[in-house]
Amino acid sequence: MSTVGLIVNPTAGRDIRRLVGGASVSDDYGKRRTAQCVLSGLSLVGPCEVLCMPTRSGLASAAIEDPPEGVSASLLEGPVTATRKDTRRAAETFADVADCVVTIGGDGTVRDVASEVDDLPILAISTGTNNVVPTPIEGTVAGAAAGYVASGAVSVRDATTRHGTVEARVERDGEEETVRGMATMGVLDREFLGTRAILDAGEFRVGVVSRASRGEIGLSGVAGALVSHRAHDPGGIGMRLDPDVRENVRAITAPGVVSEVGVSAWDRLDPGESFAVEVDRGVLTADGERVKELTDATVRLATREEGPLLVDPSAVFETLSNGNS
CA distance linking residue 180 with residue 169, whole number of Å: 9
Report the Cα 150 to chain-centroid distance in Å: 21
Is the domain of 62 the same as that of 8?
yes
Q: How confident is residue 18, by pLDDT bands cut at 50, 70 and 90?
A: very low
Is the domain of 31 the same as that of 155?
yes
Q: Mean pLDDT, to the nearest integer, of 54-70?
A: 95
Residue 192's domain comprises 165-304
CA distance linking residue 166 with residue 185, whole number of Å: 6
pLDDT in tens, 273-313: 998 999 999 999 999 889 999 999 999 999 998 899 999 99
pLDDT in tens, 72-126: 999 999 999 999 999 999 999 999 999 999 999 999 999 999 999 999 999 999 9
Distances in whole angstroms, Cα of residue 114 to Cα of each of 81, 249, 275, 289, 318:
20, 31, 23, 17, 25
Is the domain of 150 the same as that of 9?
yes
DSSP codes joined into one string, 211-259: -B-TTS-THHHHHHTT--B-TTSSSEEEEEE-TT-S-EEEEEEETTEEE
Task: Tell me if 91 sits within 8 A of 7, measured CB to CB.
Answer: yes
With H, G, I as helix, E, B as strand and everything else as coil, classify residue 46: coil
Task: Tell me if 202 sits within 8 A of 243, measured CB to CB.
Answer: yes
CA distance linking residue 157 with residue 55, whole number of Å: 32
CA distance linking residue 239 with residue 35, whole number of Å: 38
Is the domain of 12 the same as that of 148?
yes
Distances in whole angstroms, Cα of residue 45 to Cα of each of 70, 145, 325:
9, 9, 14
Q: Say if strands 100-105 and 122-126 run parallel, antiparallel, or are unpaired.
A: parallel
With H, G, I as helix, E, B as strand and everything else as coil, classify residue 61: helix
- Residue 192: per-residue pLDDT: 85
Is the domain of 148 the same as that of 289?
no
Is the domain of 159 the same as that of 61?
yes
Residues in Cβ contact with 62 at an 8 Å cutoff, skipping those fewer than 6 apart:
32
Distances in whole angstroms, Cα of residue 82 to Cα of each of 57, 118, 134, 207:
9, 24, 21, 30
Is the domain of 205 the same as that of 172?
yes
pLDDT score of 20 more than 50: no
The per-residue b/e assignment along 32-46, b for 16 or more CB within 10 angstroms, e otherwise, is bebbbbbbbbbbbbe
Amino acid at 138: E
- The number of domains in the chain is 2
Q: How confident is residue 197, by pLDDT bands cut at 50, 70 and 90?
A: confident
With H, G, I as helix, E, B as strand and everything else as coil, classify residue 318: helix
Is the domain of 49 the same as that of 9?
yes
The verdict on pTM exceeding 0.95 is no
Q: How confident is residue 195, by pLDDT bands cut at 50, 70 and 90?
A: confident
Is the domain of 71 the same as that of 187?
no
Is the domain of 169 the same as that of 81?
no
Is the domain of 66 the same as that of 179?
no
